[in-house]
Amino acid sequence: MHKSLTKVFTAFLTITPIMVVSSFTYFLPIKEKERIDEHMETLYLAIKDGDQKKSCREASNAEKLIRRNFNGLKKLEPHYEWRSMKEVLLNIASKNCN
C-alpha cells in the first residue's frame, strides 16, 4: 500500500506544477486583455472629451500591455490585429503626448 501511495503522490507532484503553469499562462493573457479593454474604454472617452493628457496616458498604457504580452494575446485572440492596434495606439500617443 505504501509503495502505490508513493507512486500516486509522485505522479501528483509531477503533474500539478504543469497544470498550474499551464493555467497561469492562459490566465495571464486574459487578465492583461481585460486591462487593455479598460484602457481602450477610457481612451475612447478621453478622445471624445478632447482630453489629450488622458488620451496620451491611456494609449501608452494599452500599447505597452500589448507589446509586453503580445504572444499570449495572439494565442488568446488569434483573429485580433494586435500589431495594427499597437501601431494605432502609438500614433494616438505620439499625437497627444506633447
**pLDDT 10s digits, 48-85:** 999 999 999 999 999 999 999 999 899 888 898 999 99
Provide the residue ranges of all domains of the chain, joining segments of one domain with +: 27-96
Reply yes or no on whether the pLDDT at 43 is more than 50.
Answer: yes
Q: How many helices (H) and strands (E) does the chain have?
A: 4, 0
Residues 98, 27: Cα–Cα separation, whole Å: 36
Average pLDDT value for the chain: 79
CATH of 27-96, one of 1.10.1060, 1.10.10, 1.10.3470, 1.20.58: 1.20.58
All three cell numbers of 22, joined, read: 499551464
Residues 73, 80: Cα–Cα separation, whole Å: 9
pTM metric for this prediction: 0.71
Q: How confident is the model at residue 1 (pLDDT cuts 50, 70, 90)?
A: very low
Q: How confident is the model at residue 7 (pLDDT cuts 50, 70, 90)?
A: low
pLDDT at residue 22 in the model: 43
Work out whether the CA dihedral 53, 65, 68, 81 comes out positive or negative.
negative
